[in-house]
Structure 1
Amino acid sequence: MNTHTLYLRRKYGEKGTNGTITYNGEQICHTIELPWRNNLQRLSCIPEGRYKLQKTKYYKHGEQIGIPAVLGREAILVHAANNAMKELHGCIAPVTTLTGEGTGDQSRKALDKLKALVYSLWDMEAEVFLVIRG
């Protein structure tokens, strides 16, 4: 089976974690997450590492990109949000522009771009991984 890897490079801050997702060296979008708080459920971004992405149906957000194998965590998704502290509980939100620590704008547009890429890889029967680094 083909495998494809997206890279999320993070910068950690007091009020949030900002990042950039790239694929084959090309920037796809920026990301916002909660600050690092020792992987505390609903209060921290997830640990750095390599994660397999999968389609996840979720009552609140519909079908999303899920990150199922996060140690000590559940229901980690990639979904739209523009303010990590107000809208996220450990998930990753793509944004078009970073506007501050853990804040960004045009999240829906960035999510659509990221989903188009990941879903096209899934449609080719590929496994898709996300590697998160500081």
Structure 2
Amino acid sequence: MVIHLTRTYFPDGTNGKLECEGKLIAYTIELPWKNNEKRVSCIPEGRYFIRKRYSDKFKWHLEVMVVSNRSFILFHAANNALKELNGCIAPVTKLSGPGLGLFSRKAFERLKSLVYKTLDQNESVELIIQ
């Protein structure tokens, strides 16, 4: 499975559209681009693989693997990039401003079920960010 994340950059946040085979999965919010600085920037454009991950804080979620100079880049629910993200990606149902969205939990569950279904069939999930 290949998921495409098409971004639009703003000074206060990054908005995106997450699609698979031309179909919208969710919109996304991220921190603004600040040269891949840890905890304050979104990650660089490129190709990544996604895996399942569990933590006490986020329970079952998704991790973006092998990000240059970064670790623990996750997909998890959040509605305000500047207040709730440290470099991660949050799916949202609707965008409400730069780095802002609505109904993230609903969008995250939709993304997670799609990706987990593919991973459970021992297929890889690739994320292409542009």
| TM band (smaller chain) | over 0.9
* Paired residue type of 1:36: W
Scaled by the length of structure 1, the TM-score of the pair is 0.95
Aligned residue in 2 for 1:59? 56
Aligned residue in 2 for 1:106? 103
**Structure 1 residues 105-124: Cα deviation after superposition (integer angstroms, max 9, x where no partner):** 00000000000110111122
Secondary structure of 2:125's partner? strand
Please list, as runs of the form range in 1=range in 2, the aligned pairs for 1:20-59 lying within 5 A after superposition.
Answer: 20-59=17-56
Please state how far the C-alpha of 1:57 moved relative to its aligned partner.
1.6
Aligned residue in 2 for 1:87? 84
Please state how far the C-alpha of 1:59 moved relative to its aligned partner.
2.7
Please list, as runs of the form range in 1=range in 2, the aligned pairs for 1:4-15 lying within 5 A after superposition.
Answer: 4-15=1-12
Report the more deviating stretch, 55-64 or 122-131: 55-64
For the pair 1:116 / 2:74, whether they are aligned, the reply is: no
The number of aligned residues is 130
The structure 1 segments of at least 4 consecutive aligned residues displaced by more than 2 Å after TM superposition are none
Q: For structure 2, which runs of at least 5 residues remain unmatched after alignment?
A: none
Report the more deviating stretch, 48-57 or 91-100: 48-57
Tell me how far apart the structure 2 counterparts of residues 58 and 72 of structure 1 sit (CA, whole Å).
21
Counterpart among 58, 70, 74 of residue 73 in structure 1: 70
* Paired residue type of 1:104: G
Tell me how far apart the structure 1 counterparts of residues 51 and 121 of structure 2 sit (CA, whole Å).
14
Q: For structure 1, which runs of at least 5 residues remain unmatched after alignment?
A: none
- Percent identity, please: 50
Tell me how far apart the structure 1 counterparts of residues 12 and 44 of structure 2 sit (CA, whole Å).
17
Secondary structure of 1:74's partner? coil
Scaled by the length of structure 2, the TM-score of the pair is 0.98
* Paired residue type of 1:81: A
Tell me how far apart the structure 2 counterparts of residues 42 and 64 of structure 1 sit (CA, whole Å).
19
